Every structure is written in C-alpha cells, then in structure tokens.
Amino acid sequence: MKWSKVFLACFAAVCAAVAFSTAVHAQTPINDKTFQDLPILHKWSGDFPIDNIDRLPEGQTDTSIGYIGTKAVFANVWKAFKPEELVPEVDFTKTLVVFARNVVFYNRLSTFKITLKGDTLAVMAMETRSARPIEDKAAMAMASIPREGIKSIQVGNERIPVLDKH
C-alpha cells in the first residue's frame, strides 16, 4: 500500500512537470523565424508543354518549384499552360504566382499549403504517383499569394531569390 502511494505521488509529479514543460515550450516564439501560413488567393492546375519550358522564368526551367513575378512572364507562361483561357488579372506589385511542376515523372499536382519562415517561402504540393516518364507535357500547379515579406523560395537544399521586378 505504501509503495502505491509513493508511485502515485511520483507519477503525479512527473505528469505535472511534463504538463508545465509542454505549456512553456509549446508557445510560439516571437521572432522572424516562425512559420506563417500564407493565404492562397487563386489556384490553377493543368498540363504544361515541355517544348515551351523556356517560357518559365530564367533559372527556373529545371526546378520543380518556382515563381513568376511579372505580368509579361505570367502571360507568356499562361499562353502555353491554358491557351484556350484568358490570362487572369494578377497585380504583381502585391502578388506572386508560385508554381510546382513535374521534373521526372508525370503526376497530377495540386498546391495545398504555402508557408513563410522569416523571408523564405515553402510551397507544398500534393501529387499522384506514377512511373510514366515526362515526354511531351508535365503537370503544373500555380497559385497566387501575397508578395509582402518574401525574399526567397526554398527548393530542396537551394533557395531561389525573389526579385522585386514587377
């Protein structure tokens, strides 16, 4: 009986310590390195013809994640991406268009979450899994997001600088 009271007292003390520790450490730190979910203003997905890959921004033709920061580049990409549709109006002074695309296998894509840590953006996209190699088209998903505070985009272990050109 004596051991059970000692055990219960120790167990209660450990539980209280864990609860206090969790409450203290679970608080979100206030600094510029916290994650912030960004709203997705518009989303588009479809196929992008490989023979038009040079329409993507310079330095981003080989990357699976990238961004479009000007109206002219967006219009040029859109004409290959959705040739039957009018180019959507995007205010590039306040907005960026980010994209995710296939680079090895053809898989349908959908952008589902975009986060900002400090000034670096992370784009998360879901994709189906296939073993069909990319031949004439790649699946691509694009999303418009608020531009404020973004200085780079994380792509694997690399970062793509986001330029202030509109």
Convert the pLDDT of each residue in 3-32 to its tens digit. 455 444 444 443 433 333 333 333 333 445
85 belongs to a structural domain: yes
Report the pLDDT value the prediction gives residue 138, as an integer from 0 to 100: 94
Total domains present in the chain: 1
Report the pLDDT value the prediction gives residue 34, as an integer from 0 to 100: 79
Report the pLDDT value the prediction gives residue 33, as an integer from 0 to 100: 62
12 belongs to a structural domain: no
Expressed as residue numbers, the domain containing 88 is: 35-161
Residue-by-residue DSSP string for 121-164 = EEEEEEE----PBPSSEEEEEEEEEE-TT--EEEETTEEEEPP-
103 belongs to a structural domain: yes
5 belongs to a structural domain: no
Q: Round to the nearest angstrom and report the end-to-end CA distance of the chain.
A: 76
128 belongs to a structural domain: yes
64 belongs to a structural domain: yes
148 belongs to a structural domain: yes
Strand (E) positions, 38-149? 42-49, 65-68, 95-101, 109-117, 120-127, 137-146
Quote the CA–CA distance of 134 and 156 in Å, as a whole number: 20
Residue spans of the chain under pLDDT 50:
3, 6-31
Report the pLDDT value the prediction gives residue 7, as an integer from 0 to 100: 42
14 belongs to a structural domain: no
